[in-house]
Amino acid sequence: MLVVEDLYVNYKAIKALNGVSCQVQQGEIVALIGANGAGKTTILNTISGIVSASAGKIVFEGKDITEIPPHEIVKMGVCQVPEGRRVFSKMSVLENLEMGAFVRNDKKGIQEAMEHVFQLFPRLAERKKQPAKTLSGGEQQMLAMGRALMSNPRLLLLDEPSMGLAPMLVEKIFEIIQEINKAGTTIMLVEQNAHMALSIANRAYVLETGSIVLQGNAAELAANPDIRKAYLGE
């Protein structure tokens, strides 16, 4: 579904990615794990089109999207839940969800998507008139995910969904990620919480200073002694 081929990204003199290649198949959950600054977020932002690649190619469903502007990429069915949630804090929950559906014009479809989001996150329905800044961190994460789902993406990019959340909430969020996946949305997940990420992913890539150093089946990676030492805190 998504193929990233030999991707290079530079921020001025800093090399953020050095020839990264990875793939996501339809229906999968793929995790990208690695330390802070390894380039995980850069990969997602380059796929979304808000960071431009200096070399390499990104192909989504057979179409080269490397040079396509971000709003067109959303239209094609790739939507990102950014790191730190980035909800529109002064706007209401409802308006945030409407913004998620910005690329759509089918009133009925938008209504259905909204009902689906409220089913997934009943909390949001209770608070739909409130400004997003009045929500708790967990609720904001739910809103950010709901907002992205409003565009009805086929590929959902999730950047650090567990960041800053209490362990119980993290588990809840990961359950919902699995639910979203079961409903047919392919997921690419960036996480520092490698333990949680590997527990729900089918496959995973390990990123170190801009390059992929290991890849494979998530369960196998979770059992790999090097990974356990470096990322799972053993």
Partner 1 sequence: MFLQQLINGIALGSTYALIALGYTMVYGIITLINFAHGEIFMVGAFVGLLLVSFFKLNIFVAMVLSMCFCMVLGVVIELIAYRRLRRSSRLSALISAIGVSIFLSSLALMVFGADAKGFPEGAFPLHQLHIGNADISTLQLTIIGVAALLMLGLEFIVQKTKIGKAMRATSEDYAAAALMGINVNRVISFTFALGSALAAAGGVLVGLLYNAVSFNMGLMAGLKAFAAAVLGGIGSIPGAMLGGVLLGVTEIFGVAIGYSSYRDAIAFAILVLVLLFKPTGLLGQKIQKKV
- Residues that bind partner 1 in the complex, under the rule CB under 8 A: 48-50, 69-71, 74-75, 79-80, 82, 84, 86-91, 95, 98-100, 102-103, 147-148, 151
Centre a 10 Å sphere on the Cβ of residue 176 and count the other Cβ atoms it contains.
17
Minimum CB–partner distance for residue 189 and partner 1 (Å): 16
Shortest distance, CB of residue 222 to partner 1, whole angstroms?
Answer: 30
Give whichever of 27 and 84 is closer to partner 1, judged by the CB atom: 84
Cβ 188 vs Cβ 158: under 8 Å: yes
| Residue number, 80 or 181, with CB nearest to partner 1 | 80
Task: Pick the closest to residue 34 from 225, 217, 210, 223 (CA basis).
Answer: 210
Q: Which residues contact 223 (CB under 8 A, 6 or more apart)?
A: none
Determine the Cα angle at 61 with ends 203 and 10, to 5°: 70
Nearest CB to partner 1, comparing residues 3 and 99: 99
CB of residue 208 vs partner 1: minimum separation in angstroms?
24
The smaller minimum CB distance to partner 1, of residues 66 and 80, is found at 80
Q: What angle do CA 104, 52, 25 make, to 5 degrees?
A: 60
95 or 208, CB closer to partner 1?
95
Q: Which is nearer to partner 1, 105 or 225 (CB)?
A: 105
CB of 234 vs partner 1, minimal distance in Å: 31
- List phi, psi (to 5°) of 63: -105, 135
Nearest distance from C-beta of residue 126 to partner 1, angstroms: 22
Angle at 85 between CA 152 and CA 119, to 5 degrees: 45
Q: How far is the CB of 72 from partner 1 (least distance, A)?
A: 8
Report how far Cα 39 is from the mean position of its chain's Cα atoms: 14
What's at 44, amino acid-wise? L
Distance CA 164, CA 179 (A): 22
